[in-house]
Amino acid sequence: MLGKIFYPESIAVIGASTDPNKTGHIIFKNILHGFKGAVYPVNPKAGEILGVKAYPSILDVPAGSVDLAVIIIPAKFVEQALLECSKKNVKGAVVISGGFAEAGNEQMQASLVATGRKLGIRIIGPNCQGFNNPHAGVCASWPYVGAKGKMAVVSQSGTVGATIECWAADEGLGISKFVSLGNRCDIDEAELIEFFSRDETVSTIALYVESIKDGKKFMDSVRGSGKPVVVLKSGRSEYGARAAASHTRSLAGRDEIYGAAFRKAGAIRVDSIEEMYDVSKLLAYGPPVRENGILIITSSGGCGILAADLVKKAGLELAPLGEEVKKKLAGLLPGHCILSNPLDLTGDTDAARYETVLRETSAPSLVIFGDPIPGAAEVAEKFKGRIIVCYLGGGEIEQSEKRKMHSLGIPVLPTPERAVVALGKLVNYNNHPKR
Amino acid sequence: MLGKIFYPESIAVIGASTDPNKTGHIIFKNILHGFKGAVYPVNPKAGEILGVKAYPSILDVPAGSVDLAVIIIPAKFVEQALLECSKKNVKGAVVISGGFAEAGNEQMQASLVATGRKLGIRIIGPNCQGFNNPHAGVCASWPYVGAKGKMAVVSQSGTVGATIECWAADEGLGISKFVSLGNRCDIDEAELIEFFSRDETVSTIALYVESIKDGKKFMDSVRGSGKPVVVLKSGRSEYGARAAASHTRSLAGRDEIYGAAFRKAGAIRVDSIEEMYDVSKLLAYGPPVRENGILIITSSGGCGILAADLVKKAGLELAPLGEEVKKKLAGLLPGHCILSNPLDLTGDTDAARYETVLRETSAPSLVIFGDPIPGAAEVAEKFKGRIIVCYLGGGEIEQSEKRKMHSLGIPVLPTPERAVVALGKLVNYNNHPKR
């Protein structure tokens, strides 16, 4: 049934506004921007909004049924709106409005849930930043992100999710889904993990939470999902836990217990928003590396060392470069290249040297391009099944090569440190006993 | 005397090339791009390069003296070139060419150093990526970065330095200097720290090294510098140290010894390229915060929690929000704002709410904008003496507000985690016993 929410044929925006600064305007505009189906703005005072005829109530909408309602009206009117929605066969409601449990109005929220259940209307939120599904052209959220990608993001923080969306859009990767959980009065992270496990546009599920709503259900959803679930859980320190308690009124719980549960279920825990993004990106687009012995190939000695420094910490090893291979490479590469691991092609390298090394070796490789290096993407493509790429210090050529790699489905990490940490998590995930 | 290198009136590019793929072409082009003084390409086979008359030797250059020579010719010819340079009163040479000590040719390098010393020509390199000084319009390096900023970067890795340059340019901050040390046969990090301490375009010195060339000289330079020195030292782990040994043939030394020395001298140690950038940026552009009790003001509860989680670890505390202030704010802000620390203005906030809080409080503040929020820059400017800003999840408005803040000299960090870590280092630096 979540299908009608994420892939609706028609949408009512209850509380669509003519004021460009209002959330009710921004969301309506964002939906209009990409959605091909029918959109009905509902606003008793507006004749039309952005050129679309507005209706005083959803009951006035000409269609007999509407799949999805996005609701941005004061909290006290939301339940009534839901009752009207049911007359139009609405299957799901995204309640953006705040003023419920997070504001101390637990009773109002409980009543909303009960009504939704009675009417058969599933609810995202309330007090949330909506959702985005570029694959259905529905950005019922903000900012507008329309690029289609493979990562799903489920987040108790609208901003954390939006940040991942923005980065993915900026990098030309796009997003598969973004869901802001808000107070998650009905639909929770476990149900979304389950649903996205069956959605073929989703390759990886990234989750930001301050607490897990239902531990057992969550564990089952992660275990049952054939897809990687990357978790950023905040409220880990005393200060953080206290802040989490006032934010979502959920007890953060002891961090070690969460850690153990994540490990047991096979979720991948990460420590920051950037790591959440890197690891999701690598799992969604990167190669299915299992060996933990890696080869570092670099044009920058310094970046090779920075990468090597973190290899053990990331649970990896440096694969030895065999004497046979060394001898062969010595005949193929200029004498000043350092035939070791990291294998340093030095600053005057071109893309061809990378190709030579990759052809003569077989270990999963971290390939660091630390200079402009035109043609890097073409070489990377040939070995995409076993390499991960880090590109930095290359100015405009780096930017265009990176875009090219992303369009070829090759994930590019921005620094050697972030690349090694993410690769460690990838390898660790692929070696989980359940896989 | 380094003044003639970094602020030359004329430059000879020995080994300037007509082939657009050659380093000798790229560097010549980059110098030509921004330099207002005379530039002489030296190449025995070219009539002109990029429309500039070329000379077979520096001896043929019409001017009686040339301040700086940038040398990109095979190693074995470099010493001879230096001898010719001295006839034109050259004061400094940047030797890009590799093939010296790093390739096992220690003797050739020692001879170059001796000749330079005899002739009174100071040397940067060899085996380096040159230098960049946008304040003098001299980008004798690659990629081209012309934006003038306040951070100096001295790096044993060309790529690490270029990466900082690229980020700073992308963010509209620019750079003051970039120097690639290469084999640092003559000019080393200590001398550059000393020189940049007296250069008024430099506010912060960021240093990447695999080893320190002369411990005592380095310690003295850091102690004597009135400016912050941020150090990223690699080769910390066994794998990393081994890689460092093959890269620059320098022994990395025990990491704890380096750590203790950095602390004693008052240098700020960082753990990654990103941290090197963040901390330098904050020290160059941020407020001189000393108090370690901070207030977190956020539109995103989640980001507030992620920040709070790292506060203690970063050596900071959360400043208590007094009852008086709380009472006052309760009368000025909507009821759903969470008057605590983090102070959560919630997702529907505008810039005005931030202004209200900043006006009524006095603690140094981490201000997190986690939504588009137009007008953020104007508010930030009013309180720039005591805030650091983090901006994320805001799409296009974030991008333009961030640019605006950077043009106003307000540094913006990309995530709450990176902001707190960098702020911790800033406060720690400002509380060093020597300051």
How does pLDDT run across B95-136, given as a tens digit for each residue?
A: 999 999 988 899 999 999 999 999 999 999 999 999 999 999
State the best of B76, B141, B164, B309 to mutate against chain A, taking most chain A CBs within 10 Å.
B309
Percentages of chain A per state (helix, strand, coil), in multiples of 5: 45, 20, 40
Per-residue pLDDT tens digits for A185-201 = 999 999 999 999 999 99
Nearest to B30 by CA among B170, B129, B152, B154: B129
Contact A348 B98 (CB under 8 A): yes
A-to-B residue pairs, Cβ atoms closer than 8 angstroms: 248
What's this model's pTM, rounded to 2 decimal places? 0.96
Helix, strand, or coil here: A292?
coil
Q: Is the peptide bond before B342 cis (omega within 30 degrees of 0)?
A: yes
Q: How far off is chain B from A235, nearest CA to CA, in Å?
A: 6
* Among A165, A303, A394, beta carbon nearest to B160: A303
Q: Which residues of B301-315 are buried (b: 16+ CB within 10 A; e: fewer)?
A: bbbbbbbbbbbbebe
**Which pair of structure tokens corresponds to residue B58?**
């520096």
Q: What is the mean pLDDT of chain A?
A: 95
ipTM computed for the complex: 0.96
Q: Which residues of A368-385 are buried (b: 16+ CB within 10 A; e: fewer)?
A: bbbbbbeebbebbeebbe
Distance CA A127, CA A108 (A): 13
- Chain A environment of B372 (Cβ under 8 Å): 142-143
Reading phi first (left if > 0) and then psi (alpha if -120 to 50, else beta), residue B196 is in alpha
Distance CA A269, CA B110 (A): 52
Average pLDDT over residues B139-160: 97
Q: Is the peptide bond before A342 cis (omega within 30 degrees of 0)?
A: yes
* Among B239, B309, B394, beta carbon nearest to A239: B309
Residues present in chain B in total: 435
Contact A313 B237 (CB under 8 A): yes
**Which pair of structure tokens corresponds to residue A104?**
């101390």
The helix or strand, by DSSP H or E, that contains position B324, with its residue range, turns out to be helix B323-332
Give the type of residue at A161: G
The helix or strand, by DSSP H or E, that contains position B4, with its residue range, turns out to be helix B2-6
For residue A251, what pLDDT is reported?
57
Distance CA A135, CA A117 (A): 28
Q: What is the mean pLDDT of chain B?
A: 95
Distance CA A325, CA B125 (A): 32
Distance CA A400, CA A394 (A): 10
* Among B247, B305, B312, beta carbon nearest to A210: B305
Whether residue A248 has pLDDT greater than 80: no
Distance CA A153, CA A156 (A): 10
For residue A250, what pLDDT is reported?
57
- DSSP letter string, B325-337: HHHHHHHHS-TTS
- DSSP letter string, B277-322: HHHHHHHHHS-----SEEEEEES-HHHHHHHHHHHTTTT-EEPP--
Nearest to B277 by CA among B411, B400, B180, B380: B411
For residue B70, what pLDDT is reported?
98
State the best of A306, A340, A412 to mutate against chain B, taking most chain B CBs within 10 Å.
A306
| Cα separation values, A28 from A34, A70, A141, A289, A416, Å | 11, 9, 9, 43, 41
Per-residue pLDDT tens digits for A103-114 = 889 999 999 999
Distance CA A429, CA B15 (A): 51
For residue A247, what pLDDT is reported?
64
For residue B254, what pLDDT is reported?
82
Contact A395 B162 (CB under 8 A): yes
Average pLDDT over residues A173-177: 97
For residue B251, what pLDDT is reported?
57
Whether residue A374 has pLDDT greater than 60: yes
For residue A253, what pLDDT is reported?
64
Contact A158 B98 (CB under 8 A): no
Contact A309 B155 (CB under 8 A): no
Average pLDDT over residues B322-331: 97
Q: A217, A241 in Cβ contact below 8 A? A: no
- Chain B environment of A163 (Cβ under 8 Å): 370, 392-393, 415
Contact B166 A240 (CB under 8 A): no
Helix, strand, or coil here: A229?
strand
Q: A401, A369 in Cβ contact below 8 A? A: yes
Chain A residue closest in CA terms to B243: A305
Per-residue pLDDT tens digits for A115-151 = 999 999 999 999 999 999 999 999 999 999 999 999 9
Say what percent of chain B tops pLDDT 70.
98
Whether residue B434 has pLDDT greater than 90: no
Local confidence band at A435 (pLDDT 50, 70, 90 cut-offs): low
Per-residue pLDDT tens digits for A394-419 = 999 999 999 999 999 999 999 999 99
Rounded to 5 degrees, what are φ and ψ at B75?
-45, -45
Q: How far off is chain A from B383, nearest CA to CA, in Å?
A: 24
Whether residue A371 has pLDDT greater than 90: no
Local confidence band at B371 (pLDDT 50, 70, 90 cut-offs): confident
Q: How far off is chain B from A276, nearest CA to CA, in Å?
A: 12
Q: A181, A188 in Cβ contact below 8 A? A: yes
Report the alpha-carbon angle A219-A279-A200, nearest 5. 65
Strand ranges (E), B68-222: 68-71, 92-95, 122-124, 131-133, 138-140, 148-155, 175-180, 204-209
The helix or strand, by DSSP H or E, that contains position A296, with its residue range, turns out to be strand A293-298
Give the type of residue at B197: S
Per-residue pLDDT tens digits for B57-99 = 999 999 999 999 999 999 999 999 999 999 999 999 999 999 9
Local confidence band at A245 (pLDDT 50, 70, 90 cut-offs): confident
Local confidence band at B148 (pLDDT 50, 70, 90 cut-offs): very high
Nearest to B360 by CA among B336, B315, B329, B402: B329
* Among A271, A347, A415, beta carbon nearest to B129: A347
Local confidence band at B245 (pLDDT 50, 70, 90 cut-offs): confident
For residue B253, what pLDDT is reported?
64
Block residue for tokens 């507030």: B304
Helix, strand, or coil here: A347?
coil
- Chain A environment of B141 (Cβ under 8 Å): none
Per-residue pLDDT tens digits for A63-86 = 999 999 999 999 999 999 999 999
Distance CA B378, CA B1 (A): 43
